[in-house]
Structure 1
Amino acid sequence: MSKERILVIEDEEDILALIHYNLAKEGYQVAGAISGEEGLQRARQEPFDLVVLDLMLPGLDGLEVCRALKNDPALAPIPIIMTTAKGEESDVVLGLEMGADDYVTKPFSPKILLARIKAVLRRRSEGEPAAAEEVLRLGELVIHPGRNEVLVGGEPVELTFTEFRVLHFLASRPGWVFTRYQIVNAVRGDDYSVTDRAVDVQIVGLRKKLGPCGKSIETVRGVGYRFKA
């Protein structure tokens, strides 16, 4: 049985070749693109299970590619792992805010990238068939883990994968206070490095999208966040 199909968008051909070699060695089906424009074209023409996206691309840069993918209903479910040489918080936060699932900073070990890819694909596969998980009903807010669906007053709310995981984690334990580190650890795993600012971005996005129900996500100064019981 063939493994997942992965699209690697990377303008440095030696890095592209290295990533391609290591992913293919693990059994993944790999396609490459050396520009944002080419990557978007391939993503629209062929089915992929994950995209490895360099942020520092000439022309159409990685953030623009990420935005285009997440704004396309047919492509939005595809998980994205960003790679960046800059390691700047602003780039990471923007990418995560757009819906990217993870990131690695160059130079990186192929083993680290492989571990992140496996973790993201595993989280995705585990999230899809979770129909047996209990549906959470909290006033006007309904969270359906099996369908990755959120309703407010009976109306669906479009959340990114990460926003959904954060909301489900907090709402399933109303009244409990969690630090940013605990939230990241629960949502992405303890091998994931992220800034406090990136967690705050997810919370801001959730509050905005949930409308009045967003007030249930409370900031506990000096500690973290909780979902109001």
Structure 2
Amino acid sequence: MTINKILVVDDSPTERYSMQEVLTRNGYQVVTAESGEDAIAKSKSERPDLILMDVVMPGMNGYQATRTIARDATTCSIPIIMCTSKSQETDKIWGMRQGALDYLTKPVDHQALLERIRAIG
């Protein structure tokens, strides 16, 4: 599977911009969403190759959005990496149980993120 288009989901404009800059500079096409609901809609309309999902967001959180995307027949094949400030082992286990493929804590090490993306692709 080749990763070309990445959906970055985060309610923080600064985080979205930072991730978008790094990914674009490394040749990826980036689409952004600022909520769990927006992430679900864009996962269907944009058909990204990968989703980078924040957890703590107003409204639907990243765990709920990940679970919805992972269980929907039209989006279940899209890998999700959670990128969040929630760093407890129980948070990571819960994220993986919701359908995440990987889990990174903030501040995200951009080099580690790029390596994980290459490993998936």
Question: Is structure 2 residue 11 aligned with structure 1 residue 11?
Answer: yes
Q: Match for residue 34 of structure 2?
A: 34
Q: Match for residue 60 of structure 2?
A: 60
Q: Give the residue type in structure 2 aligned to 1:21.
A: E
Q: Write the distance in 1 (CA, Å) between the matches of 2:87 and 2:3.
A: 30
Match runs of 1:60-99 below 5 Å? 60-99=60-99
Q: CA deviation at 1:37?
A: 1.1
Q: Give the residue type in structure 2 aligned to 1:24.
A: T
The answer to whether the Cα contact below 8 Å between 2:3 and 2:117 also exists between their aligned partners in 1 is no
Q: CA deviation at 1:98?
A: 2.3
Stretches of 4+ aligned residues off by more than 3 angstroms: none
Q: Write the distance in 2 (CA, Å) between the matches of 1:68 and 1:60.
A: 10
SS in 1 for 2:64: helix
Alignment gaps of 5+ in structure 2: none
Q: Write the distance in 2 (CA, Å) between the matches of 1:44 and 1:104.
A: 24
Q: Give the residue type in structure 1 aligned to 2:70.
A: K
Q: Write the distance in 1 (CA, Å) between the matches of 2:86 and 2:79.
A: 21
Q: Write the distance in 2 (CA, Å) between the matches of 1:16 and 1:35.
A: 11
Question: Is structure 2 residue 21 aligned with structure 1 residue 21?
Answer: yes
SS in 1 for 2:30: strand
Match runs of 1:125-164 below 5 Å? none
Identity of aligned residues (%): 37
Q: CA deviation at 1:3?
A: 5.8
Q: Match for residue 45 of structure 1?
A: 45
SS in 2 for 1:117: helix
SS in 2 for 1:82: strand
Q: Give the residue type in structure 1 aligned to 2:83.
A: T
Q: CA deviation at 1:44?
A: 1.4
Distance 1:95 1:15, change over 3 A: same
SS in 1 for 2:83: strand
Q: CA deviation at 1:116?
A: 1.3
Q: Give the residue type in structure 2 aligned to 1:76.
A: C
Alignment gaps of 5+ in structure 1: 122-229
Work out which structure has the larger RCO, using CA pairs closer than 8 Å and 6 or more positions apart in sequence: 2
Q: Write the distance in 2 (CA, Å) between the matches of 1:4 and 1:10.
A: 19
The more displaced of 83-92 and 24-33 is 83-92
Question: Is structure 2 residue 104 aligned with structure 1 residue 104?
Answer: yes
The answer to whether the Cα contact below 8 Å between 2:3 and 2:50 also exists between their aligned partners in 1 is no
Q: Deviations over 1:54-95 (max 9, x none)?
A: 011111000000110011011001000001202012221111
TM-score (norm 1): 0.50
The answer to whether the Cα contact below 8 Å between 1:3 and 1:29 also exists between their aligned partners in 2 is no
Q: Deviations over 1:105-138 (max 9, x none)?
A: 11122112111111122xxxxxxxxxxxxxxxxx
Q: Write the distance in 1 (CA, Å) between the matches of 2:56 and 2:120.
A: 22
